[in-house]
Structure 1
Amino acid sequence: MISHDSLTQASTSGLGYEQHGAGPECVLVMHDWLGDHTSYESVMPYLDGAAFTYVFVDLRGYGKSIHMRGDYNVQEIAADCLKLADKLGWHRFHLIGHSMTGMATQRIAADAPDRIKSAIAVCPISAAGNQLNEEALRFFSSTCENDDAFRRLVRFVTGGLSDQWANVKLRQNRERVAPECRSGYLEMLSTTHFVEDVRGLETPYLLIIGEKDPGLDEHAMKNTFLAWHPNAKLLKIPNCGHYPMQECPPYFAMVIENFLRTQVR
């Protein structure tokens, strides 16, 4: 018998996903550039499945959607996720996006403002993109194939966590992310710009950043999400880097659900 608390789906007609919980409040959860929905596995045991239904989606080229090809841009992500919400029968729901899908929460909320109850952006890249200089872009590009570069990046954004941690993230990426989509999503996160579409967007936002995440800090949030969204607030998690869902799972679960409970309407 399949438990509703951890229902796995592999869709042939749309994005693959994993469902957790069967509560009345629906939450669509998106992953980052380097990993798929399994980045959230550590946090799942601490989520309230009686109050919330979480769907952890895999974008095209990732995890359960690794077979799906596409344009790998934010408009496609938004369209795919709204199509999935339709398939699930969700008219109104909450969004969570991590890193590169921080901008996807903005695109979806701008495209379908009446459907989004609230959004949580975790260590997010915004609608202004992450404008990398030439040297940084070369380094990020090298992580798509160079294992040592990948490990350096993962350790850097998590405040110098162990080599074993970096190896776990490397295996996840190489096994669960299609090589052909890596450069496409990198171009998206480094060149996308749709700020005028989201400026003044009234969707309630919680911005979560990690104290040890060197690039996506409080200053970056003040110049982007907090400057554009009148109903946004910021929360910093101490002693944590770019992956709070893996670095401090119980605390992360508490933080997101404390916010979500205030947005039930």
Structure 2
Amino acid sequence: MADYIEIPTPAGTFDALSAGEEGDRPVLLLHGFPQAAIEWREQLAVLGGAGCHAVAPDQRGYSPGVRPTEVADYRMEELVADVLAIADRLGWARFDLVGHDWGAAVAWAVAAAHPDRVKSLTAVSVPHLDAFARALREDEDQQRRSEYMQVFRRSGSDKLLLEDGARRLRRMYEHKIPEHHVEEYVQRFSEPGALDAALNWYRASKLTEAIGPIRVPTLYVWSTDDGALGSTAALATGDHVTADYRFEMIEDVSHWVPEQAADDLTRVLLEHLIAHQDA
């Protein structure tokens, strides 16, 4: 079982889930959109029982204590700074970093800019950002898959997702994740300003900016039925990692890997952590 904790930082106080004992191997898990730290409940339980101190924060905009209103406050450099501030507060000089969806995008950026802080990287769904940027420029399939981003960037997109009992928001989960998670997500995003803050990640994003190579041991997990992320960038991601690299493809699973394929993801994550115990 994970415990609820609060992590005060200069940007504000982050809500988080924590499993395992302080002093154990530090693992930080970053959630995606439209989710929260609870997407990692299965992984937290296993990691906490396997000698890890695993922490999953509700990130900027998701934690009520860190919910600025300006779009510029959701730029990638702010999100990266949050990760380092959380690690600093936890007393982690180096840590294993895990991310899904937008959490993976932030994790790629952290690992690229601060390899001295990251012991190993696990990215789920979102490929290396340079590979993704190239796919957005050159691959028609990825361009079609990413058209939804333009909708999310528009003012008022939060109201569109929440109207009619959050019908469109609920549809995004594709009935592939636990229903109690869906209800918790809908409840969270129905709070005033919560969904608009989460959508600011899209409005502030500049995914065409290069982040450079990854120089830490990396596991990348991609699922074949992901409607948002095609194979072009997924297969090219290894070209952007200069350290030990492992690519895992999960068949017949949608975008929601940590919840829909919890056992498979947890297994390969543990294998990756064990393989780089002494990194």
Q: Deviations over 1:210-250 (max 9, x none)?
A: 22213324322123x22211332210123321112211223
Match of 1:10 among 6, 18, 27: 6
Aligned equivalents of 1:219, 1:252: Cα separation in 2: 21
Aligned equivalents of 2:104, 2:257: Cα separation in 1: 14
With over 3 angstroms needed to count, the CA separation of the structure-2 counterparts of 1:182 and 1:121, relative to structure 1, is: same
With over 3 angstroms needed to count, the CA separation of the structure-2 counterparts of 1:209 and 1:176, relative to structure 1, is: farther
SS in 1 for 2:129: coil
Q: CA deviation at 1:101?
A: 2.1
Give the stretch that moved more between structures: 135-144 or 236-245.
Answer: 135-144
Alignment check: 8 A CA contact 1:209 1:217 kept: no
Q: Does 1:226 align with 2:222?
A: no
SS in 2 for 1:107: helix
With over 3 angstroms needed to count, the CA separation of the structure-2 counterparts of 1:178 and 1:246, relative to structure 1, is: same
SS in 2 for 1:255: helix
Aligned equivalents of 2:46, 2:28: Cα separation in 1: 17
Q: Does 1:106 align with 2:136?
A: no
| AA partner of residue 92 (structure 2) | W
Residue 144 of structure 1 is matched in structure 2 by 158
With over 3 angstroms needed to count, the CA separation of the structure-2 counterparts of 1:99 and 1:260, relative to structure 1, is: same
TM-score by length of 1: 0.81
Match of 1:192 among 207, 216, 223: 207
Q: CA deviation at 1:204?
A: 1.1
After superposition, the CA RMSD in angstroms is: 3.0
Q: CA deviation at 1:192?
A: 2.5
| AA partner of residue 209 (structure 1) | W
Match of 1:182 among 177, 183, 198: 198
Aligned equivalents of 1:163, 1:106: Cα separation in 2: 27
* Identical counterparts, % of pairs: 21
Residue 153 of structure 1 is matched in structure 2 by 172
Aligned equivalents of 1:151, 1:236: Cα separation in 2: 26
Q: Does 1:206 align with 2:219?
A: yes
Residue 27 of structure 2 is matched in structure 1 by 27
Alignment check: 8 A CA contact 1:43 1:246 kept: no
Q: How many residues are matched?
A: 253
Aligned equivalents of 1:163, 1:56: Cα separation in 2: 18
With over 3 angstroms needed to count, the CA separation of the structure-2 counterparts of 1:112 and 1:187, relative to structure 1, is: same
Unaligned runs of 5+ in 2: 137-142
Q: Deviations over 1:121-172 (max 9, x none)?
A: 00015424665679533444576322333233332xxxx6489589535445
Give the stretch that moved more between structures: 111-120 or 61-70.
Answer: 61-70
Aligned equivalents of 1:250, 1:193: Cα separation in 2: 33
With over 3 angstroms needed to count, the CA separation of the structure-2 counterparts of 1:49 and 1:149, relative to structure 1, is: same
SS in 2 for 1:28: strand
Aligned equivalents of 2:193, 2:51: Cα separation in 1: 31
Aligned equivalents of 1:177, 1:236: Cα separation in 2: 36
Residue 251 of structure 1 is matched in structure 2 by 264
Give the stretch that moved more between structures: 130-139 or 113-122.
Answer: 130-139
Q: CA deviation at 1:102?
A: 1.7
Q: CA deviation at 1:91?
A: 0.7
Aligned equivalents of 2:188, 2:251: Cα separation in 1: 25
Q: CA deviation at 1:28?
A: 0.7
